[in-house]
């Protein structure tokens, strides 16, 4: 099954997808959208386009594991994505994924505008890689 990961942001939302064997994760797109309803529509359209059988949405927990305002907003959006798309949507802890994405981009000397355009898709890829490892255990 193809799984799509979503790194929900206030301005940019990163998307990544797995292969059908759920072994590899690939960055796919960054959606730039501030309007929540339009964002949800675009995420659902992408899931349909990629043939996703499951959506994994990043849950930005606080470092102590508690849920803050942003995490609660992400849960609410993920529920709307599931309702609108009809695709199972699960939440997955995304602590430190953006930091990991920046590290990967540093290692590959990606800077400036290109970095800003790709970091969210790379963060979604990190979320998806972590999720795929968790379901293989």
pTM of the model: 0.85
Digit-by-digit pLDDT tens for the chain (137 residues) are 999 999 998 899 999 999 999 999 999 999 999 999 999 999 999 999 999 999 999 998 877 878 788 889 999 999 999 999 999 999 998 865 665 655 655 555 555 555 456 667 888 998 999 999 999 87
Q: How is residue 137 annotated by DSSP?
A: -
Assign domain 2-136 to its CATH architecture.
Answer: 2-Layer Sandwich (3.30)
- Report the distance separating Cα 115 and Cα 137, nearest Å: 32
Please state, in angstroms and as integers, the Cα–Cα distance from residue 136 to each residue in 22, 56, 94, following that order.
9, 15, 18
Q: Give the DSSP H/E element, type plus range, for residue 26.
A: strand 25-32
Instruction: Please report, for the chain, the start and end positions of each structural domain, with discontinuous segments joined by +.
Output: 2-136
């Amino acid at each position: 099954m193809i799984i799509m990961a979503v790194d929900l942001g206030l301005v940019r939302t990163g998307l990544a997808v797995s292969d059908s064997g759920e072994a590899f994760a690939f960055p796919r797109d960054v959606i730039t959208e501030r309007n929540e309803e339009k964002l949800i529509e675009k995420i659902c359209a992408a899931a349909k386009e990629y043939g996703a059988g499951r959506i994994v949405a990043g849950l930005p927990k606080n470092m102590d594991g508690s849920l803050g305002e942003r995490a609660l907003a992400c849960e609410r959006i993920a529920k709307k994505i599931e309702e609108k798309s009809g695709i199972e949507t699960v939440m997955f802890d995304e602590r430190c994924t953006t930091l990991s994405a920046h590290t990967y981009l540093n290692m590959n000397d990606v800077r400036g505008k290109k970095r800003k355009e790709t970091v969210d898709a790379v963060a979604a890829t990190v979320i998806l890689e972590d999720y795929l490892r968790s379901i293989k255990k």
